[in-house]
């Protein structure tokens, strides 16, 4: 059976906590890494992949992915013009190099963009609007970033989003990101009628998952996380169908204005969350268990519940009981609609994530 996959952008690797949340709804997350890059995932990602193989992989860039026709080149010019005007004057006059505790190096307001991810025409546009620091190419090489250019972060995100969209179209994937919906400060409005048909659906996917998955998922040990993910593996197909149905129902793929699209996505997400909350307050929900109330903006209310002692281990029986309950309940209400099934499963998954994070406090 084909897997549900999504393509993450704009960097080589998403945050580990973000990856945990999205892997609850996808079988695999991929990222864009050129062939000539010796990419090694971080320790956190590697530990996750060691426990759950094949959930994180890369895909290379082909020439057709970076080729931009004249129409989109004009749109990109308009976007770069907006970004250039909004770039802080300080970033134009001086370069601020930041060295983190782990030894990683970054430049304020800029990012390292691999040269394979942009065409010569796009590079010329970046130079025209002074959004690329070509004079620092040698410094980039010294910093271990050979074949990378130092580019304005918003411009880089825009470029990679277009590359990701083309790759996703080839494979039939959603594009997903950890950036905010308006991550380019509305510069994408310059694209208006040039919006990708896959992008709105990807925005909706990100919005719903970010809203519904408690931040406490970071406090669940890897083995507990794996158990929860396996227990709720049946959620992936109905979730994908629900997103497609919502996209079609509200015709978000036909919206050409980014600001209107952003507003519509937020409205749909709020309504989706309302249905999840309704289920937790229903008679059936109360019979299952005592629910912990969660709402938009309140998903981090239990952030103080953490594992202070990472060496303490918890019996797998706690998670096993939860899995048995889920498996038993999943056979109930088979006649209910697929969308209601998604709301029901998400409500239970929220509870089990919070429970896994709360175990240490109870002990």
Encode burial over 85-120: b for 16+ CB neighbours within 10 A, e otherwise.
eebeeebeeebeeeeeeeeeeebeebbbbbbbbbbe
In angstroms, the CA 45 to CA 31 distance is 13
If pLDDT is split at 50, 70 and 90, which confidence band does 296 have?
Answer: very low
Q: What is the pLDDT of residue 285?
A: 52
300-339, pLDDT tens digit by residue?
332 332 223 333 333 444 445 444 444 444 444 443 455 5
Kindly tell me if the per-residue pLDDT of 79 is higher than 70: yes
246-274, pLDDT tens digit by residue?
999 999 988 888 888 889 999 999 999 99
110-136, pLDDT tens digit by residue?
888 999 999 999 999 999 999 998 877
Q: What is the pLDDT of residue 35?
A: 92
Helices in 172-257 by DSSP H: which ranges? 199-212, 222-231, 236-249
Of all residues in the chain, the percent with pLDDT exceeding 70 is 70
CA nearest 212: which of 239, 250, 247?
Answer: 239
Beta-ladder partners of 5: 28
- What are 245-249's contacts with CB under 8 Å, separation 24+? 245/339, 246/204, 246/272, 247/200, 247/201, 247/204
Q: What is the pLDDT of residue 181?
A: 58
Q: What is the pLDDT of residue 85?
A: 85
The more confident residue out of 357 and 187 is: 357
If pLDDT is split at 50, 70 and 90, which confidence band does 109 have?
Answer: confident
CA distances to 10, 159, 171, 278, 308 from 54, rounded to whole Å, are 21, 28, 17, 35, 30
Q: What is the pLDDT of residue 299?
A: 33
Domain segments of the chain as ranges: 1-194, 198-362
Q: If you compute the radius of gyration of the chain from its CA atoms, what whole number of angstroms results?
A: 22
Q: Burial level of 52, CB count in 10 A (0-12/13-18/19+)?
A: middle
CA distances to 74, 149, 162, 240, 340 from 119, rounded to whole Å, are 14, 12, 12, 33, 46
* Mean pLDDT, the chain, whole residue set: 79
197-243, pLDDT tens digit by residue?
568 899 999 999 999 999 999 999 999 999 999 999 999 999 999 99
Does this model's pTM top 0.75? My answer is: yes
Kindly tell me if the per-residue pLDDT of 80 is higher than 80: yes
Q: How far is CA 6 from the centre of its chain?
A: 9
């Amino acid at each position: 059976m084909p897997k549900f996959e999504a393509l993450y952008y704009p960097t080589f690797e998403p945050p580990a906590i973000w990856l945990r949340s999205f892997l609850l709804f996808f079988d695999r997350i991929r990222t864009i890494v050129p062939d000539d890059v010796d990419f090694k995932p971080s320790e956190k990602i590697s530990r996750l992949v060691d426990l759950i193989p094949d959930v994180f992989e890369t895909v290379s860039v082909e020439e057709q992915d970076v080729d931009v026709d004249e129409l989109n080149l004009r749109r990109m010019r308009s976007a770069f013009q907006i970004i250039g005007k909004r770039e802080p004057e300080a970033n134009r006059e001086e370069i601020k190099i930041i060295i983190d505790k782990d030894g990683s190096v970054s430049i304020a307001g800029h990012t390292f963009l691999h040269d394979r991810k942009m065409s010569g025409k796009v590079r010329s546009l970046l130079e025209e609007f002074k959004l690329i620091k070509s004079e620092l190419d040698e410094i980039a090489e010294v910093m271990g970033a050979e074949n990378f250019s130092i580019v304005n972060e918003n411009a880089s995100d825009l470029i990679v989003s277009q590359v990701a969209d083309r790759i996703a179209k080839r494979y039939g994937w959603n594009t997903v990101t950890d950036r905010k919906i308006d991550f380019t400060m509305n510069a994408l409005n310059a694209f208006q009628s040039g919006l990708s048909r896959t992008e709105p659906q990807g925005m909706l996917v990100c919005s719903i998952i970010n809203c519904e998955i408690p931040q406490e998922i970071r406090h669940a040990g890897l083995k507990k996380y794996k158990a929860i993910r396996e227990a709720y593996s049946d959620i992936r197909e109905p979730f994908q169908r629900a997103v497609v149905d919502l996209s079609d129902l509200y015709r978000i793929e036909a919206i050409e204005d980014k600001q209107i699209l952003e507003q519509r996505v937020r409205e749909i997400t709020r309504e989706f969350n309302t249905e999840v909350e309704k289920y937790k307050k229903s008679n059936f929900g109360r019979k299952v268990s005592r629910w912990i109330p969660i709402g938009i903006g309140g998903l981090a209310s239990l952030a103080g519940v953490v594992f202070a002692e990472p060496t303490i281990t918890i019996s797998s029986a706690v998670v096993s009981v939860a899995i048995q309950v889920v498996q038993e309940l999943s056979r109930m209400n088979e006649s209910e609609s697929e969308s209601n099934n998604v709301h029901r499963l998400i409500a239970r998954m929220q509870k089990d994530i919070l429970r896994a994070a709360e175990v240490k406090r109870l002990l």
